[in-house]
Amino acid sequence: MNKAIEASVGGSMRRRHVLAAIAAGAVVLGFDPLRKTWVRAAEAAGGCDAFDHLPDLDGTVYQDVATRDSVSTDQGNIKQLQPVAVLRPGSAEDVAKMVRFCKRHRIQIAARGQGHTTFGHSLTPGLSIEMASLSTIHSIGPDGAEVDAGVLWQDLIFAAAEAGLTPPVLTGYTKLSIGGTLSVGGVSSTFGRGVQIEHVEWLDVVTGSGVLLRCSETHRRRLFEAVLGGLGQCGIIVRAKVGLVQAPAFVRLFNLVYFDNAQLFGDMRALLARDELDDYFNLYFPYPGPGGWGAQLNAAIGYDAPADAPDASVVLRDLSQPASAATFVDIPYVAYVTRIDGVYDFYKVTYAWDSLIKPWFDVLLPDSTAEGYIAEVLPTLTPADVGTTGFMLMFPIRRSGITRPFFRIPEDDGTDFIYLFDILTSSETPGPNPAFVELMLERNRALFELARDAGGTRYPIGALEFDAADWAAQYGDSWSDFRQRKQQYDPHDLLAPGLGIFDC
């Protein structure tokens, strides 16, 4: 099967947008290297003609304030940085041409997926490239899907479902861009299949030199590895071939409730060791008892025919509480993997969720210390640490499923699992609120240092102040390798400046 599916904004809508922008004098024609400013139609008409003209593009570069404002923050609403221009590429070649153009003028560049990282990751003072305009699903088949980097996982889920297929690893919220999650890792409750970056056959990447290259495990492997989980430092993913597997028709989701951390860990480890589940995560909730937090265990198994539905007495056998204490629900597969999207759609409408401040905290912990860490941290947290629209979660990930060198996980402690612990804090009202931000960043730093002392690493999607020594410690033995690849693929240090990884 090889079917082209246009998931992008309609062409006529895009044309109308471009015409409106031209009328407003917003479209950029070139760059004046002497004055170090972009030249718009209005300036060119006023006689400014000594400038480096933009290359011919299928898409458009904008410099109007509204467009630049729309990409000047991210879901964290903590950092603000307005780019001087915004590219909405019409093709992969546009990205390559504009990177070469920016290289000539030493303009920093950041690809932006959905801007859902929370600490300025996708911000730049230079050129912001909105990957959402590259959103075509080119083909879908049992051997995988060929997709533009701006495609949302949700779009791929819906398209693949028509062929009975699904991406093997899905983030909880699926309105994230494929290029964005492949740049950070892509952690899921599908614990046995590793992270999303383990399920990529090849990538088309524009390097910091503006060269468009295809890379894979066997071809230009250094670039492939540098980009998967590489936080956009070594290249911009423009297209990918990602894996697909057969999707089950239904999922049965079992829930048990715990008020004791050791009991929860005991049952979780027993379930993971049996390897009979497809999905697992813990959701923490406040309760007015010792420790202040309870946990809902979520364990799920996919199945096709009603007769094959898994039985609680089998799945939840020999745990610390009887299987009869569990509740369960059967959900069609696509509804199951997109169920969190509806929650956020509701939050966006009801709580102005997009404008709330989100100082998220995310660490990966080794099995040998995770239980003690959670036991120590939970009693220090109050409901305000999470917020009405926040979540506190834990996801196990099978260690052997992770091979990419720049997705940094805790040192091997001889156990099978590591755990992602997330405090997805949301403020109660939209910002600005500098006092809240300061308090939360201090909290995150303290919790991170405790985690690092316990052998943990940062999952870099959240809000955490990091200096050069922190980045070096994060990458450990791989730090000099990462630096070398940065030097090789982005020699002028133009790409993804938001986190300041290579600032020193």
Closer of 144 and 180 to ligand FAD (Cβ): 180
- Using an 8 Å Cβ cutoff, are 133 and 242 in contact? no
Cis peptide before 410 (omega within 30 of 0): no
Q: How far is the CB of 382 from ligand FAD (least distance, A)?
A: 22
**Selected range binding ligand FAD among 178-186, 271-279, 289-297, 365-373, rule: CB under 6 A:** 178-186
Among residues 122, 133, 135, 444, which is the contact residue for ligand FAD, using CB under 6 A?
122
SS3 per-residue string spanning 335-388: HHHCHHHHHHHHHHHHHCHHHECCCCEEEEEEHHHHHHHHHHHHHHCCHHHCCC
Closer of 41 and 283 to ligand FAD (Cβ): 283
**Selected range binding ligand FAD among 169-177, 371-379, 428-436, 446-454, rule: CB under 6 A:** 169-177
Q: How far is the CB of 67 from ligand FAD (least distance, A)?
A: 16
Nearest to 377 by CA among 367, 366, 385: 385
Beta bridge partners of 366: 418
Nearest to 41 by CA among 30, 56, 57, 52: 30
And the tokens for 462?
Answer: 């959240």
Among residues 63, 77, 108, 117, which is the contact residue for ligand FAD, using CB under 6 A?
117
DSSP assignments along 90-109, one per residue? SSHHHHHHHHHHHHHHT--E
* Nearest residue (beta carbon) to ligand FAD: 113
Closer of 165 and 184 to ligand FAD (Cβ): 184
DSSP assignments along 234-279, one per residue? SEEEEEEEE--EEPPSEEEEEEEEES-HHHHHHHHHHHHHHT--SE
Return the SS3 of 420.
strand
One-letter amino acid at 43 equals: E
Nearest to 426 by CA among 110, 76, 189: 76
Q: Is 179 in the site for ligand FAD (CB under 6 A)?
A: yes
Q: How far is the CB of 300 from ligand FAD (least distance, A)?
A: 15
- Using an 8 Å Cβ cutoff, are 61 and 27 in contact? yes
Q: Is 112 in the site for ligand FAD (CB under 6 A)?
A: yes
Residue 142 CB-half CA count within 13 A? 1
**Selected range binding ligand FAD among 19-27, 86-94, 166-174, 281-289, rule: CB under 6 A:** 166-174
Q: Is 168 in the site for ligand FAD (CB under 6 A)?
A: no
Q: How far is the CB of 70 from ligand FAD (least distance, A)?
A: 13
Q: Is 172 in the site for ligand FAD (CB under 6 A)?
A: yes
**Selected range binding ligand FAD among 28-36, 183-191, 252-260, 405-413, rule: CB under 6 A:** 183-191
Map the footprint of ligand FAD across residues 335-354, applying CB under 6 A.
Answer: 344
- Using an 8 Å Cβ cutoff, are 147 and 240 in contact? yes
- Using an 8 Å Cβ cutoff, are 366 and 420 in contact? no
Q: Is 461 in the site for ligand FAD (CB under 6 A)?
A: yes
Closer of 60 and 181 to ligand FAD (Cβ): 181
Element at 3 (helix H, strand E): none
Q: Can you tell me the distance from the alpha carbon of 383 to that of 465, in angstroms, rounded to the nearest whole number? A: 23
Map the footprint of ligand FAD across residues 196-255, applying CB under 6 A.
Answer: 231-232, 236-237
Closer of 194 and 302 to ligand FAD (Cβ): 194
Among residues 68, 88, 97, 121, which is the contact residue for ligand FAD, using CB under 6 A?
121
Q: Is 397 in the site for ligand FAD (CB under 6 A)?
A: no
Provide the mask over 362-391, with x wherever binding to ligand FAD is found by CB under 6 A and - wherever it is not: ------------------------------
Closer of 158 and 303 to ligand FAD (Cβ): 158
Give the CA radius of gyration of the chain: 23
Provide the mask over 47-76, with x wherever binding to ligand FAD is found by CB under 6 A and - wherever it is not: ---------------------------xx-
Q: How far is the CB of 398 from ligand FAD (least distance, A)?
A: 15
Would you say the C-alpha torsion 112, 94, 36, 106 has a positive or negative sign? positive
Q: How far is the CB of 288 from ligand FAD (least distance, A)?
A: 28
Closer of 315 and 363 to ligand FAD (Cβ): 363
- Using an 8 Å Cβ cutoff, are 413 and 367 in contact? yes
User: How many Å is the maximal CA-CA distance in the chain?
Assistant: 81
Return the SS3 of 359.
coil
Map the footprint of ligand FAD across residues 464-493, applying CB under 6 A.
Answer: none
Beta bridge partners of 216: 202
Map the footprint of ligand FAD across residues 129-148, applying CB under 6 A.
Answer: 131
Q: Is 111 in the site for ligand FAD (CB under 6 A)?
A: yes
Q: Is 177 in the site for ligand FAD (CB under 6 A)?
A: yes
Among residues 180, 302, 390, 410, which is the contact residue for ligand FAD, using CB under 6 A?
180
**Selected range binding ligand FAD among 24-32, 170-178, 300-308, 324-332, rule: CB under 6 A:** 170-178
Return the SS3 of 52.
strand
| Strand 127-130 versus strand 109-112 pairing type | parallel
The number of beta carbons lying within 10 Å of the beta carbon of residue 148 is: 26
356 CB contacts (<8 Å, ≥6 apart)? 77, 387, 389, 426, 427, 428, 429, 430, 431
Return the SS3 of 1.
coil
Question: Count residues contacting ligand FAD (CB under 6 A)?
Answer: 35
Cα angle 398, 400, 406 (rounded to 5 degrees) comes to: 95
Q: How far is the CB of 277 from ligand FAD (least distance, A)?
A: 17
Task: Give the footprint of ligand FAD on this chain (CB under 6 A).
Answer: 74-75, 110-117, 121-122, 131, 149, 171-173, 176-177, 179-181, 183-187, 231-232, 236-237, 344, 461, 496, 498
